[in-house]
Structure 1
Amino acid sequence: MNHTAEAPAAWDPAFADADDCLLSSDQCVVRGQHYFVRGLIEIPVVDSDEVFSWGVWVSLSRENFSRAADLWDRLGREAEQPYFGWLTTDLPVYSPTTLNLKTHVHTRPVGERPGIELEPTDHPLAVEQRTGITLDRVREIAAAVLHGGGERR
């Protein structure tokens, strides 16, 4: 019931050995100038009690990234106000692209990935986050990401 992007769109494997770059399971820095965190876009599945999650990367300002990093292991961090960010993951089943959609990053308790709330637009991903998807749509997404096929919505 989930699909996760391994790195933000701005990441290049050639950055792996650079001193001003970092890619961990939760945070990414590119050239000491671009900052990203991994979070979850959760979409309710309307005909079940389940939630489908997209594991995505969101860019943050240097200031917000530093703040999030400072609070990373601090109990009570979920009281933090949401951070503004730009979605930096191109999800393969949506058209137009999901790159650069506006988001709010909601910090959760220690050990949980942030929740990513999309700005309420008419983009198909934002609509699905607000209204939910069916199990048939989950199967369609799974087929597209596992087999590289499927139409973009």
Structure 2
Amino acid sequence: MTTDLGFDCSCCGRRHDELPLAYGAPAPAHWHDGLAGQPGFVLGEEQCVLDGEHFFVRGLLVLPMPDGEDFEWGVWVSLSKDSFTRVTELWDDPARVDEPPYFGWLSTELPGYEPTTLNLKTNLHSQPVGVRPLVELEPTGHPLAVEQRTGIDRARVQEIAELLLHPGR
């Protein structure tokens, strides 16, 4: 178990008191503030609809760490209209945990990954009511998919933290 959760930043030289283990995107990559309030465009805390034709659900992409903790990305997944309708129908139903996973496309561009994380194939696994669905990536050679399968170490988590703390460095 790690007792010192802080880190010395290689960008600014300062000591940061903690190493964040979770980040989240407030909206799918295709959303922008100019869409707010337009007919057919809705951005909620957990769901999003673009032009009444593109449907998104917020999920959690978990990367295991060697010390037993998890690093988490809050991401958006695009679903078909039928899948989105089903997710919405079961949103408050405890039986939703018995649903098979829904196929979708990752709709969040995560920093620090090449090539882009947009449009990676996913399976969205329903969780108990009140818990965000888990996002499982297709097991490809993409660096994010590899980290989900094999884990992410503290040095990589620090690299991500530095990238997000100091964008454009």
Q: Same fold (TM over 0.5)?
A: yes
Q: In the alignment, does 2:27 pair up with 1:7?
A: yes
> Partner residue of 2:135?
116
Distance across 1 between alignment mates of 2:85 and 2:132? 16
Give the Å deviation of 1:59.
Answer: 0.2
Give the Å deviation of 1:114.
Answer: 0.4
Q: Tell me if structure 2 keeps the 8 A contact 1:143–1:149.
A: no
Distance across 1 between alignment mates of 2:168 and 2:32? 24
Task: Indicate which of 20, 31, 44 corresponds to 2:40.
Answer: 20
- SS of equivalent to 1:76: helix
> Partner residue of 1:54?
73
Residue by residue, what CA displacement relative to the aligned partner does 1:1-57 show, whole Å, maximum 9, x if unpaired? 1110111011121111112111011000000000000101100011x1210000000
Residue by residue, what CA displacement relative to the aligned partner does 1:82-125 show, whole Å, maximum 9, x if unpaired? 00000011001100000000000000000100000000000000
5 Å-filtered alignment, 1:36-51, equals 36-46=56-66, 48-51=67-70
Structure 2 stretches lacking a partner, 5+ long: 1-20
> Partner residue of 2:148?
129
Amino acid of the structure 1 residue aligned with 2:74: G
Amino acid of the structure 2 residue aligned with 1:122: G
Q: In the alignment, does 2:119 pair up with 1:69?
A: no
The normalised TM-score by structure 1 is 0.94
Q: In the alignment, does 2:122 pair up with 1:103?
A: yes
User: Which structure has the bigger radius of gyration?
Assistant: 2
The normalised TM-score by structure 2 is 0.86
Q: CA RMSD in A?
A: 1.0
Runs of 4+ displaced beyond 2 Å: none
Alignment: residue pair count: 149
Task: Indicate which of 88, 97, 100 corresponds to 1:78.
Answer: 97
Distance across 2 between alignment mates of 1:146 and 1:64? 36
Amino acid of the structure 1 residue aligned with 2:75: V
1:14/1:149 CA distance change after superposition, 3 Å? closer
Distance across 1 between alignment mates of 2:101 and 2:164? 29
Give the Å deviation of 1:76.
Answer: 2.2
Distance across 2 between alignment mates of 1:94 and 1:21? 29
Distance across 2 between alignment mates of 1:149 and 1:54? 20
> Partner residue of 1:146?
165
Distance across 2 between alignment mates of 1:85 and 1:101? 8
Amino acid of the structure 2 residue aligned with 1:110: V
